[in-house]
Structure 1
Amino acid sequence: MSLHSGLAAFAAGLLLLRALPMLPPVWWLWPQLLLGVLLLAGRGWRLGFFLVGLSWASLAAQWALDDRLEPGLDGQTRWLEGRVVGLPQRNDGVARFELTDLTSRRARLPGRLRLAWHGGPEIHAGDRWRLAVTLKQPRGLVNPATFDYEAWLLGRHIGGTGSVKAGERLEPAEGPAAWRDQLRQRLLQVDAHGRQGGLAALVMGDGSGLDSKDWRILQDTGTTHLMVISGQHITLLASVLYGFVALLARFGFWPGRVPWLPAACAAAFAGALGYGFLAGFDVPVRRACVMIAVVLLWRLRFRYLGIVTPLLLALCLVLLTDPLVVLQPGFWLSFGAVALLLLVFGGRLGAWIWWQAWWRAQWTMALGLAPLMVALALPISISGPLANLVAVPWVSLIVLPLGLLGTLSLPVPVIGEGLLWLAGGALDWLFILLAWIAGQWPAWIPEVVSLWGWALGALGVILLLLPAGIPLRALGAMLLLPALFPPSPRPLVGHADIWLLDVGQGLSVLVRTREHALLYDAGPRRGDFDLGERIVVPVLRGLGVDRLDLMLLSHADSDHAGGASAVQRGLAVEGVVSGEPDRLPAELAASGCKAGDEWSWDGVRFATWQWPGAQDSNDKSCVLSVEARGERMLLSGDLGARGEAAWVAGTQDLRARWLVAGHHGSRTSSSPILLRAVAPERVLISRGAHNPYGHPHPLVVSRIMGLPAAILDTAERGALLIRLGHYVEAEAYRDKPVFWREK
Structure 2
Amino acid sequence: MRTGMLALASGLLTLRFLPVLPPVGLLLLLPVLALMLLPFRTYPLAFFLFGFSWACASAHWALNDRLASGLDGQTRWVEGRVVGLPQNTQGVVRFELADSESRRTRLPGLMRLAWYDGPAVNSGERWRLAVKLKRPTGLLNPQGFDYDAWLLAQRIGATGSVKDGQLLRPAQGAWRDAVRQRLLAVDAQGRAGALAALVLGDGSGLSSEDWRVLQDTGTVHLLVISGQHIGLLAGMVYLLIAGLARYGLWPQTLPWLPWACGMAFAAALGYGLLAGFEVPVRRACVMIGLVLLWRLWFRHLGAWWPLLLALNTVLLLEPLASLQPGFWLSFAAVAVLIFTFGGRLGAWRWWQTWTRAQWLIAIGLCPLLTLLGLPISLSGPLTNLLAVPWISLMVLPPALLGTLLLPLPYVGEGLLWLAGGLLDVLFSGLAWVAGRLPAWVAPVIPLWVWGISTFGAFLLLLPKGLPMRLLGWPMLLLIVFPPLRTVPDGMAEIWQLDVGQGLAIVVRTRHHALLYDAGPRFGDFDLGERVVLPSLRKLGMHKLDVMLISHADADHAGGARSVSNGLPVAQVLSGDPEALPAELHAQACESGQRWEWDGVSFALWQWSEASESNQKSCVLQIEANGERLLLTGDIDARAEQALLETPLAVATDWLQAPHHGSHSSSSMAFLMALAPKAVLISRGHDNSFGHPHPQVLARYRRLGMQVYDSAEQGALRLRLGAFELPESLRQQPRFWRDPPSIK
TM-score normalized by the length of structure 2:
0.98
Correspondence for 1:493: 489
Return the offset for 1:284. 3.7
Is the counterpart of residue 8 in structure 1 residue 20 in structure 2? no
User: Which sections of structure 1, spanning at least 5 residues, go unmatched?
Assistant: none
Q: What is the rounded CA distance, in whole Å, between the counterparts of 1:292 and 1:306 in structure 2?
A: 13
Q: Which of residues 588, 601, 604 is equivalent to 1:605?
A: 601
Q: What is the rounded CA distance, in whole Å, between the counterparts of 2:137 and 2:461 in structure 1?
A: 40
Is the counterpart of residue 208 in structure 1 residue 183 in structure 2? no
CA 1:652–1:236: 2 relative to 1, 3 Å: closer
Matches within 5 A, 1:276-291: 276-291=272-287
The residue type paired with residue 492 of structure 1 is P
Correspondence for 1:460: 456
Secondary structure in 1 matching 2:296: helix
Secondary structure in 1 matching 2:479: helix
Q: What is the rounded CA distance, in whole Å, between the counterparts of 2:301 and 2:40 in structure 1?
A: 24
Q: Deviations over 1:307-333 (max 9, x none)?
A: 211221111111111110001111111
Report if the CA contact (8 A) 1:295-1:311 is conserved.
no
The residue type paired with residue 294 of structure 1 is L
Report if the CA contact (8 A) 2:550-2:556 is conserved.
yes
Return the offset for 1:211. 0.5
Q: Which of residues 411, 416, 428 is equivalent to 1:415?
A: 411
The residue type paired with residue 253 of structure 1 is L
Is the counterpart of residue 327 in structure 1 residue 323 in structure 2? yes
Q: Which of residues 32, 35, 45 is equivalent to 1:34?
A: 32
Return the offset for 1:414. 1.3
Q: What is the rounded CA distance, in whole Å, between the counterparts of 1:117 and 1:584 in structure 2?
A: 30
Q: What is the rounded CA distance, in whole Å, between the counterparts of 1:301 and 1:222 in structure 2?
A: 38
Report if the CA contact (8 A) 2:643-2:649 is conserved.
no
Report if the CA contact (8 A) 1:221-1:381 is conserved.
yes
Q: What is the rounded CA distance, in whole Å, between the counterparts of 1:67 and 1:170 in structure 2?
A: 25
Report if the CA contact (8 A) 2:291-2:301 is conserved.
no
Return the offset for 1:484. 2.5
Correspondence for 2:290: 294
Q: What is the rounded CA distance, in whole Å, between the counterparts of 1:284 and 1:41 in structure 2?
A: 35
The residue type paired with residue 29 of structure 1 is L
Q: Which of residues 164, 176, 180 is equivalent to 1:180?
A: 176
Report if the CA contact (8 A) 1:95-1:116 is conserved.
yes
Report if the CA contact (8 A) 1:298-1:310 is conserved.
no
Return the offset for 1:184. 1.2
Which stretch shifts more, 143-152 or 27-36? 27-36
Correspondence for 1:728: 724
Identical pairs, percent? 62
The residue type paired with residue 288 of structure 1 is A
Q: What is the rounded CA distance, in whole Å, between the counterparts of 1:598 and 1:262 in structure 2?
A: 80
Matches within 5 A, 1:532-547: 532-547=528-543
Correspondence for 2:106: 108
The residue type paired with residue 456 of structure 1 is I
Q: What is the rounded CA distance, in whole Å, between the counterparts of 2:535 and 2:162 in structure 1?
A: 31
Q: Which of residues 164, 167, 174 is equivalent to 2:165?
A: 167
RMSD: 1.3
Report if the CA contact (8 A) 1:456-1:483 is conserved.
no
CA 1:199–1:411: 2 relative to 1, 3 Å: same
Q: Deviations over 1:641-683 (max 9, x none)?
A: 1111111123364320100001111111111221111110101
Report if the CA contact (8 A) 2:279-2:326 is conserved.
no
Report if the CA contact (8 A) 2:272-2:282 is conserved.
yes
Q: Deviations over 1:409-451 (max 9, x none)?
A: 2111111111111111100000000000001110000011222
Which stretch shifts more, 580-589 or 432-441? 580-589
Q: Which of residues 270, 275, 278 is equivalent to 2:266?
A: 270
Correspondence for 1:63: 61
Report if the CA contact (8 A) 1:294-1:311 is conserved.
no
Correspondence for 1:364: 360
Which stretch shifts more, 41-50 or 147-156? 41-50
Matches within 5 A, 1:75-154: 75-154=73-152
Correspondence for 1:630: 626
Q: What is the rounded CA distance, in whole Å, between the counterparts of 2:301 and 2:231 in structure 1?
A: 21
Is the counterpart of residue 260 in structure 1 residue 272 in structure 2? no
Correspondence for 1:705: 701
Q: Deviations over 1:106-154 (max 9, x none)?
A: 2111111000011111100000111111111000001111100000111
Secondary structure in 1 matching 2:396: helix
Dislocated runs of 4+, deviation >6 Å = none
Q: What is the rounded CA distance, in whole Å, between the counterparts of 1:12 and 1:570 in structure 2?
A: 40
Return the offset for 1:563. 0.6
Q: What is the rounded CA distance, in whole Å, between the counterparts of 1:257 and 1:694 in structure 2?
A: 74
Return the offset for 1:393. 0.6
Correspondence for 1:472: 468
Report if the CA contact (8 A) 2:600-2:623 is conserved.
yes
Correspondence for 1:193: 189
TM-score normalized by the length of structure 1:
0.98
Q: What is the rounded CA distance, in whole Å, between the counterparts of 2:422 and 2:46 in structure 1?
A: 53
The residue type paired with residue 33 of structure 1 is P
Return the offset for 1:305. 4.6
Q: What is the rounded CA distance, in whole Å, between the counterparts of 1:505 and 1:652 in structure 2?
A: 27
The residue type paired with residue 690 of structure 1 is D
Which stretch shifts more, 432-441 or 562-571? 562-571
Return the offset for 1:614. 0.7
Secondary structure in 2 matching 1:605: strand
The residue type paired with residue 22 of structure 2 is P
Correspondence for 2:375: 379
Q: Deviations over 1:451-508 (max 9, x none)?
A: 2221221111111011101222122123224333222112211011100111000000
The residue type paired with residue 148 of structure 2 is E
Which stretch shifts more, 121-130 or 259-268? 259-268
Report if the CA contact (8 A) 1:24-1:58 is conserved.
yes
Q: What is the rounded CA distance, in whole Å, between the counterparts of 1:50 and 1:584 in structure 2?
A: 58
Return the offset for 1:237. 0.9
The residue type paired with residue 156 of structure 1 is Q
Return the offset for 1:306. 2.0
Q: Which of residues 64, 72, 75 is equivalent to 2:70?
A: 72
The residue type paired with residue 329 of structure 1 is P
Q: What is the rounded CA distance, in whole Å, between the counterparts of 1:640 and 1:259 in structure 2?
A: 82
The residue type paired with residue 144 of structure 2 is T
Secondary structure in 2 matching 1:555: coil
Q: Which of residues 424, 428, 435 is equivalent to 1:428?
A: 424
Correspondence for 2:385: 389
Report if the CA contact (8 A) 1:14-1:54 is conserved.
yes
Q: Which of residues 642, 645, 660 is equivalent to 2:641?
A: 645
Correspondence for 1:718: 714
Return the offset for 1:105. 1.4
Which stretch shifts more, 641-650 or 482-491? 482-491
Which stretch shifts more, 418-427 or 468-477? 468-477
Report if the CA contact (8 A) 1:506-1:688 is conserved.
yes
The residue type paired with residue 86 of structure 2 is P
The residue type paired with residue 147 of structure 1 is F
The residue type paired with residue 286 of structure 1 is R
Secondary structure in 2 matching 1:548: coil
Q: How many residues align?
A: 739
Secondary structure in 2 matching 1:42: coil
Return the offset for 1:283. 4.1
Is the counterpart of residue 684 in structure 1 residue 680 in structure 2? yes
Matches within 5 A, 1:545-624: 545-624=541-620
Q: What is the rounded CA distance, in whole Å, between the counterparts of 1:558 and 1:201 in structure 2?
A: 31
The residue type paired with residue 67 of structure 1 is D
Secondary structure in 2 matching 1:126: coil
Secondary structure in 1 matching 2:533: helix
Q: What is the rounded CA distance, in whole Å, between the counterparts of 2:306 and 2:285 in structure 1?
A: 13
The residue type paired with residue 51 of structure 1 is L
Correspondence for 2:342: 346
CA 1:652–1:131: 2 relative to 1, 3 Å: closer
Is the counterpart of residue 240 in structure 1 residue 236 in structure 2? yes
